[in-house]
Amino acid sequence: MAACGSDALGLVFITIKIAEYVAKANAGIGLETDTFFTLYFLLTGFHLLHVLLGIVILAAVALSDSAENLKTGTAFWHMVDLVWVVMYPLVYLIG
């Protein structure tokens, strides 16, 4: 059941990030705008891909909820969380 909640939060993140990317593209901001935006799109895009993979993993855990699958799914999801905790200050606070 917890996997479904995490999947929902992952989908919220993906929705927000895509809306942010669209807003930046409409403002003429892209990968080649400057170094900050190159790093911004690469880092957040990398995180976005991991969230997508995490959703797939957690959905698989929800379908086959063995103890081993649960441990694998939670370890991956927490790794993605940890990556974002490090990336957030780099992208939004320092940049």
The per-residue pLDDT for range 38-79, each reduced to its tens digit, is 988 988 898 889 888 888 887 888 888 788 888 888 888 788
**0.85 surpassed by pTM:** no
Would you state the pLDDT for residue 6? 64
In the chain, the number of structural domains is 1
Instruction: Give the CA distances from residue 50 to residues 66, 69, 80, in Å, rounded to whole numbers and listed in that order.
Output: 22, 17, 7
CA distance 42 to 53: 17
The per-residue pLDDT for range 76-90, each reduced to its tens digit, is 878 878 877 887 787
Q: Which domain holds residue 27?
A: 2-94
For residue 94, pLDDT over 90 is answered with no
